[in-house]
Each structure stands twice: as structure tokens, then as C-alpha cells.
Copies of this chain bind each other. A is one copy, B any other.
Amino acid sequence: MMIIMQPGATRAQIEHVIEHIREQRLSPHVIEGVEQTVIGAVGESHAVPTSVFEGLPGVQTVQRISKPYKLASRQFHPHDSVFPLDGFTVGGEEIAVIAGPCSVEGRSHILEIAHAVKEAGANALRGGAFKPRTSPYAFQGLGEEGLEYLAEAREQTGLPVVAEVMAISQIEIMTRYVDVLQIGARNMQNFNLLRAVGETRTPVLLKRGLSATIEELLMSAEYILSGGNHHVILCERGIRTFETATRNTTDINAIPVLKALTHLPVFLDPSHSTGLADYVTAISKAAIAAGADGLIIEVHQDPAHALSDGKQSLTPEAFARLIRQVRAVAEAVERRLAGVPQSATRPV
């Protein structure tokens, strides 16, 4: 930790900071600059909050040098985390595509989409049973009934199922029905929920919050990892900026930045990060070109009648085209789509 003193900090103030450093069992190292003094506090400083020094007289700012996350960091785990899901692996050479509707709207509805996305090349099925909606008056999902339909869709298609968990009380039932628990953007810092899914051994897809920094996303992953659940997928889904032409701004930089900082697999959700079906394919290709390990995409057989997110949902036909185009880009960056034999990946 580096403690930067204000210009004109007195000798006594510097001594006072040094005492506080020693109190924390750290070693002080003073650098006197022309205008300002900087004091390094060396040692096991992870558990020491910066606030120990921030409030002291004469202190300008305190800066932590090393990353506040350990388990998520590539520093101590240089190799990519790779783990299996039904029939494919996540985080390795293969690129996985999860697809399906925003909400499960009924039995025949989800079964029909499940077959359609499977045929187009999806590796897993998404679908919401419990829906976080901005308005209390909007459709809130089918609940357990929706989970049952998802399980039936899995049985028929063989696709593993990804669904969002919104509350601790839903975890027990969800882990019986689904293969991957999704933590939505609005719950990225619902720390009690993070701890609770960290205690399960079900893989978690953790979405970045609307205005969460990359470091905060990694700290939220740390909550899950520290519970012993090592199967965490990080998912960029767009951040909130001043731009209004799209629903969110895809932070494409986050893909290579995350791949550098962490060993965890990194996915992109172009449906939410753009909010408009017309741009989903272009941004999917961009994600793969930038190094993403997977995609999660909203598909609906009749977007105009979707109970939620119709504007950003692709038809099964558009999704099949997307898969073909993404496959070509994957190959250009020396990756391949999961579930497709290497020799069959050349676009026609």
C-alpha cells in the first residue's frame, strides 16, 4: 500500500502515519519527493483496509498496489480454468453458445425454441423462470412451472439449461432443475446471494452489473470462488453510458482485459449489450474476434409476441445465420465452436 501525503504535510503527520503502519504490522518506507512525501507500507496488507490511513491528518490518498482478488486472479492461477458441461467444455479451445428466450412462456413454447436452437448449433438452452423486471406490473415469470418445462426441454434435446436465480430461497429448487445458475446484472453485488451460490457445486454464470467496474466483477466472482465453487463464467452484458442509440454500451475492451486478469472463462451477451436484434450478429462476431469464450443470445420464434425483450431477440433463422458467421470468425482466431467436429467447421 502507498500512502501519498499532502503537499506541506508536517514531520509529525508523517511520523503519525508511520506509527499506524507499524500498528498494522507492516514496514514503512518513506520517499521524500520535491513537493510531496510518499510512504510505502510493505507486508501482508490484504486484510488491512485503506481507511486505516485515509482518515489520518496530512494524508492525501492511499493506493493499494496489489489486486484485491486472489482466487480469481491469473497471477496465482496462470492457466485458463476449463470445466465440462453436458457434452462440451467451457473456457478451453471450444467456444460455447447458449441460446433461448428471455422468459419461458409455456411448455410448447420452450420446447419448440429448444429444438430450433439445438438444430442451429446452440450448446445450451437459456430461459428465465424467475424474471427480474423493473416494473412490479410486468410479467414476472412462470416460476417452478417454468423450471419443469426447461427440464423437459433438456431431456428432449440434451442441451444443458441456464436460468437466472434471483433469491437464496430459489437455489435449492433450481439446482434440481438447471445446469448453470445465472446471477443477473442487478444482483452482481447481492453479496448474500453470491455467498449462497458459492456454497453449491453448480456452475454459475455471473453477469457484470450495469455500472460495475471490471475489478468489482472480479470481486463478486471472488465471493463465489471463496465458497469453494470454482465453476464461474464471467459475462459482459453491456454497461450504462450516455449513448442512447443502443440499450447499453458493449464494453468490448472488457473481453481482453478480463482474459488478461483472470483465468475464468469470459462470455458476452450481445442481446442485452445492444438491446436491438439488428446488431446482435455483428457484436457476436466482435466478441469472438476479441477473444470471448462464449456467447449467450436471446432467441424467440415470434419476437413480436415475446412477453419480454422481443426487441432484442433473434428468430431461429437469424440465429442459424449468426452461428454460421460466428463459426467463420472463430476459425479465423484459431478457435472452434463447441459440438462441431473440427473438420466440419469451414463455412460454405
Contacts and interface: CB of A to CB of B under 8 A. Distances in A.
Interface of A: 2, 4, 7-8, 20, 29, 31-36, 38, 40, 42-47, 49-56, 63, 65-66, 68-69, 75, 132-139, 166-169, 186-187, 189-193, 195, 210-211, 213-216, 219, 222-223, 226, 239-246, 249-257, 260, 273-274, 277-279, 282-283, 285-291, 302-311, 313, 325, 328-329, 331-333, 347
Contacts of A8: 75
A193 B193 CA distance: 12
B251 A311 contact: no
17 contacts: A7-B75, A29-B31, A31-B31, A34-B42, A47-B137, A49-B307, A51-B303, A52-B310, A167-B193, A190-B190, A241-B251, A245-B257, A255-B286, A256-B279, A256-B282, A286-B290, A329-B333
Contact of A213 (B243, B250, B310, B329): B243
B243 A214 contact: yes
Given A56-B304, A288-B289, A333-B329, A211 B51 contact: no
The 9 closest A-B pairs by CB, nearest first: A211-B211, A51-B310, A55-B303, A55-B304, A289-B289, A332-B332, A54-B311, A285-B289, A256-B282
Contacts of A51: 303-304, 306-311
Given A52-B304, A310-B51, A278 B256 contact: yes
Contacts of A34: 42-45, 66
A290 B280 CA distance: 10
Contacts of A274: 253
Contact of A31 (B42, B63, B279): B42
A55 B311 contact: yes
Given A241-B251, A250-B252, 20 more contacts: A31-B31, A33-B40, A33-B42, A33-B65, A33-B66, A34-B43, A35-B66, A38-B65, A54-B310, A55-B304, A132-B189, A136-B223, A137-B226, A190-B190, A211-B242, A241-B241, A252-B286, A260-B279, A285-B290, A329-B329
Nearest to A277: B55
Contacts of A223: 136
A245 B213 contact: yes
Contacts of A328: 332-333
A252 B283 contact: yes
Nearest to A260: B278
A63 B273 CA distance: 20
B253 A246 contact: yes
A222 B8 CA distance: 22
A191 B141 CA distance: 13
A220 to B, nearest CB: 8
B38 A2 contact: yes
